[in-house]
Every structure is written in C-alpha cells, then in structure tokens.
Amino acid sequence: MAVLEPGDPSELARRAAAGFAERYAAPPTVVGRAPGRVNLIGEHTDYNRGLVLPVALPHATYAAAAARTDGLVRIASASQAEPWDGSLDAIAPGSVPGWAGYAAGVLWALREAGYEVPGVDLHIDSTVPLGAGLSSSAALECSVAVAVAGLLGLDLDDGLREALVDAGVRAETEVVGAPTGGMDQAIAVHGEEGCALLIDFDADVHRAVPLELGGRTLLVTDTRVTHELTDGGYAGRRAECEQAARLLGVPSLRQADPEAVERIEDEVVRARARHVVTEVARVEATLAALDAGDWPAVGRCFLASHVSMRDDFEISTPELDTAVSVAVEAGALAARMTGGGFGGSSVAIVPDDRVAAVTRAIDAAFALNGYRPASHLVATPSAGAGLVEPVS
C-alpha cells in the first residue's frame, strides 16, 4: 500500500528554506506552515450557513518568504515547473493564472484589508496531496498568509487569525474564482492538536472538539481521481442550493424547514436542499455520538452522509463508492467520501489493528476494477497555521 507520510515540520521547513535559497540565492526570513484538512462530516454545508466538523492534517504546506523593496512578487513551488513573477500593484481578481493565484491572491486580500504588504519572494513546498479533496489550496493560501504576517512582525492573536482566514477566502473566491465556503481556511488557521473543529457558519463561531479515538485511526484514502474547484461542478451545486433558498424564502438553507424542502417542485433542486438540511442534522448527531463513544452511531451517520452525497447531491464517483464500501466490509467502523466531491478522498474510522487490512482490501478492489492505485494517509488531528523554525 502507498502511505503518504506527513514529514517532520522542522525538516520540511528546512527543505522549503533550502529551495528558497537555491532559487533566490539568499535565505528566507520566515517559513509559514498551514495544514491540509479532512472533513469528518458536514459537506457543502459551509456556504449554506450550516455546520461542519473538519480536522487539520499533519500534512501541510510550507511557504518560505522574504520581503522585497521594489514591489515585485516572485512565486515558485517545488511541485510546479513554472514560477510566476509580477508586480504587487498589478495583482487583482483574475490577474494571476493557475496555482500561483492562490498565493498572489492572499497578498492582494491582505492589502485590501489594510495591511502594508511589501513585494515578496516566495518558495512553496508541501506534503498535502494535490486534487485529493484535502484542501491543498487553503493550505497554500494560509501558509503564505502566516509567512506575510511574520514578515510584518505581527502576532498571531485571535483577531489576526480571523483576518488571515478572510484573506484566504477572498483569495480563493475573488482572485482565483473558486466559490468556496470558508471551512478550509478556518480549519487551516484554527486547527488544534487532538481536536476536530466545529464551525457554525450561521452564528459565525467555532470551537475545538476533542477527538477521543482511543485505539482507532482516521484513515484517508486518496482515490487519485483529481478535481478542481473551478471546473464548474462545485459552483453548480452552490447555485442550486441558492435557488432552493430563494424558492423557500429563507436567507440560507440553514433556516430551511425539512417539510418545506420536500415541497420544492424541481426534483434536482429538492434533492440538493434535502442533502444540506439532513447533513446539518447529521453533524449534530455525529457530535452526540462521538461524545457518547457510540461508534455504531457514528458509522450510521457517515453512511447516511455518503448515500446523501451520492444520490441527492450527486458528487460521488465509482472510486469513492468502492473505497467507502470496501473499507466497511474490511473492518472500518465508519466511512464516507469527504470534500467537495467529483473525485478526491474518503475518510474512515478504523480500529488500529484493522488499518493494514482495510488499506489492502481497498488496494485490491481498485486493482480488480481497473482504477488507478489509491494512496492512503493517517489523519492525526493536528495544529493549525503558524511559523516554523527550520532545522539547521
């Protein structure tokens, strides 16, 4: 089985710093780190003002940075062949193509928020899988945001952390044009070791939820079916949810009555709204089950969530369905697809002594079906964004 290790943060910071020095012939001033995430439950509920329950991964993105005095921005990545160079003043919505837009967009958003962002050299390195539904984009945004805050000598207090979340959201939605809901940036910045993060987007609050896994492993399977948030599928689902809210006369589907949802005439719009209102209820049920240590109940919540995403929201794939069903057959206590859908990853809660059996079973099923080989990672609940000192 292919298992992606997160790496030691100090060593990865050193690697990012070395890549910076090789490219720019000088050492960086700071290295920012921000994690990817796996969402336990609460899918496509963030932009509907609902509840989500993500976990920060130990796998993270590292942004080595140094300020410039000439207003130039240079962005390079260990995983991308082409760097991007441009003027800080020229960065605007739609102005920076491809992957570099996520990094440059953060600089624009922080300037829009009133921060005196200088020109900057950036070098990016990461252990977050790309296109796996594990929020590599938010990890990139938030690592850059933390690095810039470090260059400006700012303390990462609660107010600044909220500002960095907002900058990441604006970079992704306005500069890149991906209509995301804010969960990914929030967990990347606010994640806590050993905890999930319950985010209530209607009340605009969040709190850490200790995860007492006790002999159980959060196993993520990357199906290697990649997806892009800008390819239209995500935006289409969001538009259908907004249409449902308009039809129901509510500000968002968080306020929707389940019985009223079932009276929506359009079958597709009704199904989309049904997923959202039932998914919010499943987040609450999962929280209660986790608090009680009721793993069969957690498993039922995960299964219902996956079926809803497969049938009502129509964002699953054969690979995701296979990963979920085989995981449970091989001993997982709970499994579901996670992330925006149309590819990406599944998440399972597996007894420690069944992890190897579950990964072997998934790998065998993928080979039998002719799918690309999956990869796996262990999602140890980890801390959110911050500066990292490279090892010397």
Residue with token string 């993928």 = 366
CA distance 82 to 21: 17
DSSP state of 49: T
**Of the residues 46, 125, 184, 222, which is catalytic?**
184
CA distance 136 to 183: 13
Angle at 118 between CA 81 and CA 32, to 5 degrees: 60
* Complete DSSP assignment for 176-245: I-----SHHHHHHHH--TTEEEEEETTTTEEEEEE---SSEEEEEEE-S----TTSSHHHHHHHHHHHHH
* Selection from 46, 42, 35, 16 nearest residue 189 by Cα: 35
CA distance 196 to 314: 26
- Cα dihedral 377, 383, 384, 390, rounded to 10, equals -90
Alpha helices (runs of H) in the chain, residue ranges in sequence order: 9-24, 100-112, 136-151, 158-170, 183-190, 233-248, 258-261, 267-292, 295-311, 318-329, 355-369
Annotated catalytic, 157? no
* Selection from 47, 386, 392 nearest residue 245 by Cα: 47
CA distance 391 to 10: 5
| Segment holding 335, helix H or strand E | strand 334-338
What is the set of active-site residues?
184
